[in-house]
Amino acid sequence: MAVLKFTDWWDRFFAIGIILKGLDGVLELVAGTLLLFIAPDRIHQLAVLVTQPELSEDPNDFIATHVLRTATGLSDHVVTFTAVYLLAHGIVKVVLVTALLMDKLWAYPWMIGVLVIFILYQFYQLTLTPSLGLVVLTVFDILIVVLTWHEYRRHRRRGKEMA
């Protein structure tokens, strides 16, 4: 079984990026699984519990009021959709990152394609509800696409040189 080799700083930078993307996928799997078992009213109760201390000090705190407003508007449908969305994202990311770490050539274009689809959807979401977190995630995904494209080209070049 081949494993990704770290021959220079590009390889290391790529490995760090995809490992972080894999951890992101694992967190999405955990969050999606939790959402399948937690009712919206329980999420709202948790949001109240977490934001209450901050809102008692500053009733206009941006993050606390945003969290509370979001939790208030949750329905079973929204929670189920979010859970399925997170689970799908998480599974795809974990599978592709694992394949990349095992140095599977087929995974490079798949990772690029999947991330481009995620990025396009994130751009769409940013037009509807801009958020700093989504901007950071989108920039990170763009960086991973660039690194994956670069590694894929280097990987194919190395293969041609050996042939």
Q: What integer pLDDT is reported at residue 73 of this predicted model?
A: 77
Q: What is the rounded distance in angstroms from the CA atom of residue 13 to the CA atom of residue 48?
A: 40
Rounded to an integer, the average pLDDT of 46-60 is 86
Token output for 103: 């140095």
Closest CA to 68 of 78, 81, 53: 53
Inform me whether the pLDDT recorded for 21 exceeds 50. yes
Token output for 100: 């990349």
Inform me whether the pLDDT recorded for 25 exceeds 90. yes
Contact 79, 35 (CB under 8 A): yes
Contact 138, 122 (CB under 8 A): yes
The whole-chain average pLDDT of the chain stands at 87
Q: What is the rounded distance in angstroms from the CA atom of residue 14 to the CA atom of residue 146?
A: 9
Residues contacting 20, CB < 8 A, separation 6+: 140
Rounded to an integer, the average pLDDT of 79-83 is 88
Q: What integer pLDDT is reported at residue 135 of this predicted model?
A: 92
Q: What integer pLDDT is reported at residue 163 of this predicted model?
A: 47
**pLDDT tens digits along 132-147:** 888 998 999 999 999 9
Which of 3-12, 54-63, 112-121 comes out lowest in average pLDDT?
Answer: 3-12
Inform me whether the pLDDT recorded for 72 exceeds 90. no
Q: What integer pLDDT is reported at residue 158 of this predicted model?
A: 74
